[in-house]
Amino acid sequence: MDEAQKFELESLVEELESYRGRHTELITVLIPAGATLTQTTKQLEDEKGTATNIKSSGTRKNVINALERAVRKLKEIGRTPENGLALFSGNVTMADGRESLEVWAIEPPKKLKIKIYRCDQTFVLEPLKDMLETDEVYGLLIIERNEATIGLLDGKHIKKLQNMTSGIPGKTRAGGQSAQRFARIRESAAKEFFKRVAEAMKKHFWDNKKLKGILVGGPIPTKDEFLEQGQLVTALKDKVIAVRDIGGTGMHGLQELVERCQDILAEQEITKQRLILDLFFEKLAKEPNKVSYGEAEVEDRLNRGAVEKLIISKSLSREKVKMLENLAKASSTEIHIVTNETAEGVQFDNLGGVAGILRFEIHD
């Protein structure tokens, strides 16, 4: 799925997840690719008869109304879309506090492989959430003498999983300790720290079937000593695909490690985001008439068919993103959705969170 489809699905899942029925009266219908709507429509008609036995008059009314809306929607659609159909119907409480009978029907961006009918207090969203999961993730490790940070790169998102301290004594010796004895204490503490880090990495990464590789960063020689001393299990050590000189741990260190590994991560979402934002900021500095930013200006350029690449921050409202996407599709404009989880993303948000790289210069 492309970035626009992913954002739209994320927004829908987030919205549907916010709704909760007063009782078990929210309807979820998932129809797999290749199935016909006729059988599902008949099943929902039969469920209306079953719903007449519900004791609570309010719940009975809401369930029957939701089923009727679902049946009408299926008849409107007529045939199962290529990827299947996800339909949600029910009496939900809106943001302003009023209740409203709503129905949503979407063709998911990937093929549905599961058939579900469920009447519950919440909508069944796990199959759609599974579609949003990144196919490949990367383990991250920053290790210094006194501290280590373990993280995960999942698409455009960098997650800090664990921060650890070593307890290794500083280089200044306590009074009365010989140099050799103090060196042995430090060496023993370092080995114990490396062992704890290796165990933590195994805990976080061992069962992750999507793990494509591990990126390791830190100062010379600590990171190299950690990899050479054999504490990391072979299966994970073999996953180490990049080692970089990095100063600093924590979230900042993880971000720097990912940035230093752009060559390895060339096809990953976070690298593509950095490249498109770098291109925008470079043109803004050198060719300001070949870019636009701010909602009003970008909308104007889209209406003129002048935008080659549209960049939108996920921090914008779903409605605004949808409007800009529709304008972009009308003029065959590339759409790039970015997050504010990188330094470039934050800088972009500060400019308004929407920009265009233009096909031609516009002088107003």
- pLDDT tier at 229 (50, 70, 90 boundaries)? confident
Instruction: Tell how strand 334-338 and strand 307-313 pair up.
Output: parallel
What average pLDDT does the segment 227-233 reach? 85
The whole-chain average pLDDT of the chain stands at 91
**Helix spans in 150-304 (H):** 179-205, 222-228, 234-237, 250-260, 269-286, 295-303
Residue 154, phi then psi, degrees to nearest 5? -125, 95
Q: Work out the burial of residue 46: count CB atoms within 10 Å of its CB; fewer than 13 is exposed, 13-18 middle, 19 or more buried.
A: exposed
Q: What is the pLDDT of residue 156?
A: 85
Domain with CATH 3.30.420.60 in the chain: 137-260
Please give the Cα distance from 108 to 29 (Å, whole number): 13
The Cα 180–Cα 186 span in angstroms is 10
Beta strand ranges found along the chain (DSSP E):
26-31, 85-93, 99-106, 116-120, 137-143, 147-154, 157-165, 211-218, 240-245, 291-293, 307-313, 334-338, 354-358
- Residue 338 scores a pLDDT above 80: yes
Q: Which of 68-82, 86-100, 166-180, 189-203 has the lowest mean pLDDT?
A: 166-180
Inform me whether the pLDDT recorded for 254 exceeds 70. Answer: yes
In this prediction, what percent of the chain has a pLDDT beyond 90?
A: 69
Helix or strand or coil: residue 211? strand
* Structure confidence at residue 177 (pLDDT): 61
CATH classification of 137-260 is 3.30.420.60, yes or no? yes
Q: What is the pLDDT of residue 6?
A: 87
* Class of the CATH domain delimited by 269-358: alpha beta
d(CA 281, CA 44): 53
CB 162 within 8 A of CB 150: yes
The pLDDT value given to residue 176: 54
Q: Phi first, then psi: give them for residue 348, nearest 5 degrees.
A: -65, -45
* Residue 257: per-residue pLDDT: 95
- Is the distance from CB of 137 to CB of 210 less than 8 angstroms? yes
Side-chain half-sphere CA neighbours of 294 within 13 A: 5
- Say what percent of the chain tops pLDDT 70: 96
Higher pLDDT among residues 54 and 306, named by residue: 306
User: Shortest CA distance to 306 belongs to which of 335, 275, 328, 278?
Assistant: 328
Any idea what the Cα angle at residue 318 is, between residues 259 and 357, rounded to 5°? 50
pLDDT tens, position by position, 133-175 = 887 899 999 999 889 999 999 988 899 999 999 877 666 555 5
The C-alpha angle with vertex 10 and arms to 111 and 299, in degrees rounded to 5, equals: 110
Confidence of residue 258 (pLDDT cuts 50, 70, 90): very high
Q: What is the pLDDT, as a whole number, of residue 231?
A: 81
CATH of 3-132, one of 3.30.750.24, 3.30.960.10, 3.30.70.20, 3.20.20.70: 3.30.960.10
User: In this predicted model, what pLDDT tens digit does every residue of 184-219 receive, in sequence order?
Assistant: 877 888 889 999 999 999 999 999 999 999 999 999
pLDDT-derived band at 71, boundaries 50, 70, 90: very high
Banded pLDDT at 104 (limits 50, 70, 90): very high
Mean pLDDT over 16-39 rounds to: 92
**Token digits of residue 332:** 């065959």
pLDDT of residue 174: 54
**What number is the average pLDDT over the span 208-237?**
91
Amino acid type, 119: C
Residues 6+ apart with CB under 8 A from 41: 71, 74, 75
Q: Identify the pLDDT of residue 27.
A: 96
pLDDT at 35: 92
- Other Cβ atoms less than 10 A from the Cβ of 116: the count is 14
Averaged pLDDT for residues 118-143: 93
338 forms beta bridges with 313
The 10 Å Cβ neighbour count of residue 155 is 17
Cα–Cα separations (whole angstroms), residue 20 to 51, 69, 89, 91, 92: 19, 18, 12, 9, 7
In the structure encoding, which two tokens stand for residue 226, read together? Answer: 């950690």
Mean of pLDDT values over 300-323: 94
> pTM for this one?
0.70
